Amino acid sequence: MNQDIYEHFHPDERPFIDRASEWVDRAGDWHEVKRTDFLDPRQAFILRTLAQRHPDVHLRLDGGYEGAERQRAIVAPDYRPLEAEPIGIAVLAIAASDRSPLELDHGDYMGAILGLGIKRDRVGDIHVHEHSCHCLVTEEIASYLNVHLRQVHRAAVLTEVLPLAELRPSVSEFEEMSLSVASMRLDGIASDVHRFSRARIVEPIRAGRCRVNWKVTEDPSRLLKEGDVVSIQGLGRFKLLEVEGVTKKGRIRVRAGKFI
């Protein structure tokens, strides 16, 4: 039973806990090997926590390159070596066929892929470059996307499936800003980052559309700390880069980076 586990996690995470528990139980009790789709960091944490509770199970997490945010997992009996198990990740190279003047971003590429009926968990990290991108996908859908993905936003594109060794990672870019805030409350910092009123920010938080470090939070008064990543549905993500100190008037100087 997962009842003792549920109390440590948000209710919205229960369906994933049930799935992950089944993977772990099948590996430990029935000697099965499970290769998952891509997990976000929160899901990876939950799966790792469950695997550590089972004495006969271990797992490997791999997103295709060092530092990957989204990763596939292999869950297996502890006697089975995992280093040689194929992780099943391909690189889908997408390039504008006519050097379109359109500047395509992460959301444009993701929208085009999901528009073909692909589920989000089949897609890993997306590395955007000028006029192109390298998108990590499960090997199971790579050929389908290579045949059917012909347009991103309004730009015609060409695609190619590449081995992982040819991945060109991109560095996440931030729109950095320095803020002076009254406290480290989530709603206050988020409203300054997104330049919205606090009332407008509180609404999606209380509605469960905000995640801090990939965990749903519905508490606008939650205190943030340096390094936290905040995502609000419809507004994007930002990271609290640094707490710089306190002003003479008692306000807190922080530096934040909005993902662009």
- In this prediction, residue 260 carries a pLDDT of 75
The span from the CA of 224 to the CA of 235, in Å, is 18
Q: Is 59 exposed, middle or buried (0-12, 13-18, 19+ CB in 10 A)?
A: buried
Backbone torsions φ then ψ of 182, nearest 5 degrees:
-75, -30
Q: What is the pLDDT, as a whole number, of residue 8?
A: 79
Task: Give the domains, in start order, of the chain with CATH numbers.
Answer: 3-77 (3.30.1370.160), 89-166 (3.30.70.330), 174-259 (3.10.290.10)
Q: Which residues contact 190 (CB under 8 A, 6 or more apart)?
A: 201, 205, 210, 230, 232, 238
Residue type for position 113? I
Residue 198 pLDDT: 93
Residue-level pLDDT at 7: 81
Per-residue pLDDT of the chain (260 residues; tens, 9 = 90+): 566 788 878 888 999 999 999 999 999 999 999 999 999 999 999 999 999 999 999 999 999 999 999 999 999 999 999 999 999 999 999 998 876 667 888 889 999 999 999 999 999 999 999 889 999 999 999 999 999 999 998 899 999 999 999 999 998 778 999 999 999 999 999 999 999 999 999 999 999 999 999 999 999 999 999 999 999 998 999 999 999 999 999 999 999 999 87
Q: Which amino acid is at 164?
A: L
Euclidean distance between CA atoms 38 and 19, whole angstroms: 14
pTM of this prediction exceeds 0.95: no
